[in-house]
Structure 1
Amino acid sequence: MANWHDLAEDELIARLVIVYSRIAAACALFPVPYNLPTARPGATVGEFFEGVAHLSNISDEIPDIPKDVAAALDTSCTYWVAASDVLALHIAQPNKCRARAFGLCLTGAEVHLNDVVDWLAQDAS
């Protein structure tokens, strides 16, 4: 999306939560499921942040997933954490560049998460 700065704060947060939900859904499908806090009404981004940051830190220790998948997961989580941080800065002091940086980080999280999802789809077949 070219115009991240045109989106309202609640729309940006919603997009962050959507990607979080995709990360959580993928992790729940691992051979040994990893459960992140549930995205539910009233939950805070801070709750999600801690879970994703922890997941990034332990991604290479998750059993029964290949190293390249663990690396893609770590990268996706790192991009998501960066997006969360940039969004907090943007909310505190709106800036078009920060909005674009948020969009780039969130896109990076999705791109690398797709590698994880592709592996899950191949592993399931």
Structure 2
Amino acid sequence: MPRNTAVFAPTFAGEGVIRSDDIRTDPRYGHSAPHYGMPPGHLPVVSYLAVPVTSVSGEVLGGLFFAHDEPGKFTADTENLVSAIAAQTAVAMDNARLHKAAQQEIEQRRRAEGQRNFFFTN
């Protein structure tokens, strides 16, 4: 699970996409203790792309994070594609929440109807 470092913060806050040809040169990179960069044993990350997954209400549901060990691997087309995937992901997650809420509402109504029938038949 990524920590909320300066590099990850814009994604977690839903502020927008971060695409970097070399994240090691990004001014937000390398300022968080205790590692001030990548921890020992971390897979090498040079190219970096992060896209927030944001619901229609504006709630940040998560993020899509991509990395490559070579510079310049993510293009504007890659960013557009991943942004579209993030938008579809948000719609699917919103729909799943709505479905769950509808199922709970139906169950509550069934229970209430059952209680109403119990009182009227006794």
Question: Structure 2 length as normaliser, TM-score?
Answer: 0.30
Higher strand share: 2
Length-normalised TM-score, structure 1: 0.29
Higher helix share: 1
